[in-house]
A and B are shown apart, each in its own frame.
Chain A
Amino acid sequence: MLAMNYRGPYRVRAAHKAEPEIEHPGDAIVRVTRSCICGSDLHLYHGLVPDTRVGTTFGHEFTGVVEAVGPAVQHLKPGQHVLVPFNIFCGNCYFCQKELYSNCHDTNPSATAVGGIYGYSHTTGGYDGGQAEYVRVPMADIGPTVIPPDLDVDDAVLLTDALPTGYQAAEMGDIEEGDTVVIFGAGPIGIFAAKSAWLLGAGRVIVVDHVEYRLDFVRRYAQCEVVDFKQVGDMAIHIKKMTDGLGADVCIDCVGCEAAGSFAHTLLGVKLKLQGGAAIVLHWCINAVRKGGRVSIVGVYGPTFNAVPIGNAVNKGLTLRMNQASVKRHLPRLIEHIQAGRIRPSDIITHRIDLCDVADAYHLFSSKLDNCIKTVLVPPSALAA
């Protein structure tokens, strides 16, 4: 089958590899119909995630048709078109029993801090991802959700990660009616976090980035205020000026370890890898939020350490909340929002690219060319259908 194949930092290609097989009685094999490139895939692409082995197939946002199921699968049937949450989770362990599906303890032997994730290095379990024609889907009765007939597949694929992560980012900010919410990052997650902040009753939503076309997009799509941080001297002062000197009620980090905005952080965190990525957005969040405010983090950072002003967080009495999204728990409500017309996720898709051209797709997204916001890869078999 054809699959994306990682060859080293900034190098990928489409290549043939063996089709996946049922390896556990609870597995399914899914024929992929859509697969997105996520902003966090770029951390893999740039060589920042430890234990990313040459030959790995990335892709943790995908939909597909069930081709085969293992003997223990009772509910999922071949032929069903499913969206597959990026978390691989058992539904049974101590953490899954608390609905912390992203923290599942039973699907990733190589680390304890993170559960299993499709195509996201051996640090998250060593599973191949969905940027391929076929993919092994473990725990098939638990993770995949059958796509409702009235849901477009392009909307469905954004329910596998991007929309739930953006929603959970806003949700972890514990937004109350009228709150001022500042979101760092105008990529897909930041865009959905902005949209979600309104659903939760925010009074003001401000998105910060430096990429002009993305700021233009989020201003229109999420009807929010925008700030270009390159036009601002000091982010904390700027946000305080916008909020009567108090600071925002909620600050949300939707950027993670490759944030621009600080030469020192980029040098230490990205170039020299002496910390788990550039932590400038964490600085901005802690220093721009009001005393007693909330900071929500969904940006991905490396597993080592970051230099952050934790003393300020203590002195300001902040609540810091963070996690990978537990996609499955969000799906029923988010599907309702889509069906009610409150949000149309597929509007952020700017590029649909043949899986054969995966190298161009990664470069396009990584370098923010052609006003790229969200790229969907379509395998040749799905293109033909």
Chain B
Amino acid sequence: MIITDAQQNPPRNQAQRHSHIVGWGADLDHAHRPAYPMERTPPRLPHAVPPPEQQHSHADVLVSTERPRITPVYGTTLPPKGLSGWLRRQAFRHSENDIRHWMMLLLADRVNMGEGLIDDLSRGHVPNLYAEMGGRAELRHNPMGAARKAAIGIAALALIALALKRRR
């Protein structure tokens, strides 16, 4: 009887080849894949789901122009206010399809950062920028990096001071 090379060293199938990997192929069968097919109707939720009631609040919520009305459920945190709020209202005059919508929102975010600082100071709170930017973690886990950043900061301040002195 002739034993072929393939019989002597039979090619291992994928399951054998990956037998060291716990769970290999457990979901090979598409029936085990929870999002296959991508769209499934009806949804497999544990309870029957009635349509959500409309949420009512006095919160100022900006609604996309691509929607006919506010959604039944929404967040009410941090209504728009100040200059950033005005910018956000302008942004919401444009659809999500319009680049101006997004760029104005990003601009509003930067303005809002300044407003946050002013708000802190007006309430007598001087923000601890070192702590808020994770300075302690930097010092503990990357002391050389912290020293480098400190040196760059000091050098930058010295240059600014020098420039101001020369201007005078």
Contact = CB atoms under 8 A, between A and B. Distances in A.
Contacts of B25: 177, 198-201
B67 A112 contact: yes
B32 A333 contact: yes
Contacts of A357: 136
B34 A329 contact: yes
A329 B40 CA distance: 10
Contact of A198 (B24, B36, B66): B24
Contact of B102 (A109, A304, A334): A304
7 contacts: A7-B127, A13-B128, A109-B61, A126-B61, A142-B45, A330-B35, A337-B23
Given A139-B52, A329-B35, A50 B73 contact: no
Looking at A11, A98, A337, A342, the one whose CB has the most chain B CB atoms below 10 A away is A11
Dominant SS at the A interface? loop
Given A12-B132, A198-B21, A142 B75 contact: no
Contacts of A23: 55, 57, 76
Interface stretch (A52-60, A231-239, A256-264): A52-60
A106 B72 contact: yes
A201 B26 CA distance: 7
Interface string A71-106: 010110000000000001011100011111100011
A269 to B, nearest CB: 13
B70 interface: yes
A146 B117 CA distance: 41
Given A7-B113, A47-B109, A54-B115, A125 B53 contact: no
B88 A51 contact: yes
B22 to A, nearest CB: 6
Contact of B34 (A56, A112, A333): A333
Given A107-B71, A364-B134, A369-B138, A126 B27 contact: no
Interface in A2-50: 7-13, 23-26, 47, 50
Contacts of A152: none
B20 to A, nearest CB: 7
Interface string B39-61: 11111111101111101010001
B75 A122 contact: yes
Interface of A: 7-13, 23-26, 47, 50-57, 72, 74-75, 88, 90-92, 96-101, 105-113, 116, 122-123, 125-128, 138-139, 141-142, 168, 171-172, 177-178, 196, 198-201, 203, 223, 273, 302-305, 321, 323, 326, 328-330, 332-334, 337, 340-343, 357, 359-364, 366-367, 369-370
Interface residues of B, number: 82
B137 interface: yes
A270 B128 CA distance: 26
A240 B132 CA distance: 45
A133 B118 CA distance: 27
Nearest to B28: A201
Contact of A92 (B50, B129, B131): B50
B159 to A, nearest CB: 22
B143 to A, nearest CB: 11
Contacts of A116: 73-75
Given A177-B28, A199-B25, A367 B138 contact: yes
Given A110-B63, A127-B75, 16 more contacts: A8-B117, A50-B102, A53-B84, A90-B73, A92-B51, A96-B43, A98-B39, A109-B71, A116-B75, A126-B61, A303-B96, A328-B45, A359-B132, A364-B137, A367-B142, A369-B142
Contacts of A323: 38
B41 to A, nearest CB: 6
B20 A363 contact: no
B129 to A, nearest CB: 7
Contact of B134 (A54, A172, A304, A360): A360
A303 B102 contact: yes
Contact of A107 (B42, B73, B76, B110): B73
Contact of B52 (A90, A171, A362): A90
A56 B77 contact: yes
B14 interface: yes
Given A112-B96, A199-B24, A273 B53 contact: no
A199 B23 contact: yes
Contact of B133 (A106, A109, A128, A359): A359
A183 to B, nearest CB: 15
Contacts of A370: 141
For the complex of A and B, 8 pairs with smallest distance between CB atoms: A363-B134, A342-B23, A126-B75, A8-B113, A127-B75, A54-B116, A50-B105, A201-B28
Nearest to B23: A342
Nearest to B130: A359
A360 B136 contact: yes
B109 A51 contact: yes
B63 A13 contact: no
B132 A7 contact: yes
Looking at A74, A112, A341, the one whose CB has the most chain B CB atoms below 10 A away is A112
